[in-house]
């Protein structure tokens, strides 16, 4: 059974800092990994999707990497802003859980001015 | 519509009543997912539809929960004889196909009193 773990559970940083969120998964036979953002009381917003054949994806100040063999992904946020404050979730598709996404518990990020 | 639409956005019901939650996926998306997010908890997989294949119901917590997807489009999640522990946010997502980028709706917040 696929299990996804996110570290840290919570992170508080001052505005302007670069930061890294970590995601690990137990079954490396995945099709892709997706990073989402969730604001309080809202649904999930897709940030980046990395296919299993890719090593990284970039969107603006966000960069996600994937090391499938070791079961790890990182989300790097450059020059953080208060508007980046949210819960960040990673999810993997595939492996023994064909089709459905398996989520981590999320990292609660607070960026203070 | 441009995104996944869920209705109602909020639902308060009395214990023991039945409720129906609706999801309109993005047009043309063959995959549809239901997840549940309880207060302070991660996303719990409920059910996954892919095209005309038999749905993956492995996440439904009890036989009080059922879901349909009519005409490969709109989906309805039904909870019979609701209990207080059913209180949660129910999230629907769709994707173009299996193991592709998933897009979530804003969720339905269900409160059972």
In chain B the first and final C-alpha atoms are separated, in Å, by 33
Nearest residue of B to residue A37, measured between CA atoms:
B104
Chain-chain contact of A101 with B33 (C-beta, under 8 angstroms): yes
Q: Is the peptide bond before B8 cis (omega within 30 degrees of 0)?
A: yes
B102, burial (CB in 10 Å: exposed 0-12, middle 13-18, buried 19+): buried
**Per-residue model confidence (pLDDT) at position A44:** 94
Which residues of B are less than 8 Å from A98 in CB distance?
A: 98-99
The first and second tokens of residue A92, run together, are 């993997």
pLDDT tens-place string over residues B59-93: 999 999 999 998 879 999 999 999 999 999 999 99
Neighbouring CB atoms inside 10 A of A113's CB total 7
**Per-residue model confidence (pLDDT) at position A67:** 96
- With contact defined as beta carbons under 8 Å apart, do A75 and A88 qualify? yes
Q: Please state, in angstroms and rounded to a whole number, the distance separating the CA atoms of residues B14 and B34.
A: 22
Chain-chain contact of B101 with A36 (C-beta, under 8 angstroms): no
Neighbouring CB atoms inside 10 A of B105's CB total 23
Percent of all residues in chain B with a pLDDT value above 90, rounded to a whole number: 85
Percent of all residues in chain A with a pLDDT value above 70, rounded to a whole number: 96
pLDDT tens-place string over residues A30-83: 999 999 999 988 899 999 999 999 999 999 999 999 999 999 999 999 999 999
Mutation test of the interface with chain A: which of B102, B103, B105, B108, choosing the one with the most A Cβ atoms within 10 A? B102
Residues 6+ apart with CB under 8 A from B102: A34, A46, A91, A93, A101, B31, B33, B93, B94, B95
Neighbouring CB atoms inside 10 A of B33's CB total 27
Mutation test of the interface with chain B: which of A9, A44, A47, choosing the one with the most B Cβ atoms within 10 A? A44
**Per-residue model confidence (pLDDT) at position B2:** 79
Please name the member of A42, A99, A106 whose beta carbon is closest to the beta carbon of B99.
A99
Q: Which residues pair with residue B49 across a beta bridge?
A: B32
pLDDT tens-place string over residues B6-58: 999 999 999 999 999 999 999 999 999 999 999 878 899 999 999 888 899 99
Nearest to A44 by CA among B106, B87, B45, B51: B106
The first and second tokens of residue B82, run together, are 């609701």
Percent of all residues in chain B with a pLDDT value above 70, rounded to a whole number: 99
């Amino acid at each position: 059974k696929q299990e996804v773990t996110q570290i840290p559970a919570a992170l508080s940083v001052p505005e302007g800092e670069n930061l890294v969120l970590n995601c690990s998964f137990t079954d490396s036979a995945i099709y892709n990994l997706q990073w989402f953002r969730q604001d309080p009381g809202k649904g999930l917003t897709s940030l980046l999707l990395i296919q299993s054949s890719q090593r990284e994806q970039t969107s603006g100040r966000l960069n996600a990497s994937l090391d499938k063999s070791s079961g790890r992904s990182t989300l790097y946020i450059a020059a953080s802003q208060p508007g980046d404050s949210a819960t960040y979730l990673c999810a993997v598709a595939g492996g023994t859980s064909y089709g459905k996404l398996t989520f981590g518990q999320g990292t609660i990020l607070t960026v203070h001015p | 519509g441009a995104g996944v639409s869920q209705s109602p956005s909020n639902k308060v019901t009395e214990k023991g009543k039945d409720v129906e939650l609706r999801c309109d996926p993005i047009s043309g998306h063959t995959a549809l997912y239901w997840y549940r997010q309880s207060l302070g908890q991660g996303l719990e997989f409920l059910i996954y539809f892919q095209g005309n294949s038999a749905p993956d119901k492995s996440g439904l917590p009890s036989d009080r929960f059922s879901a349909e997807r009519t005409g490969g489009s709109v989906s309805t999640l039904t909870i019979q004889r609701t209990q207080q522990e059913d209180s949660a946010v129910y999230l629907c997502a769709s994707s173009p196909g299996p193991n592709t980028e998933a897009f979530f709706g804003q969720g339905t917040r269900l409160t059972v009193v």
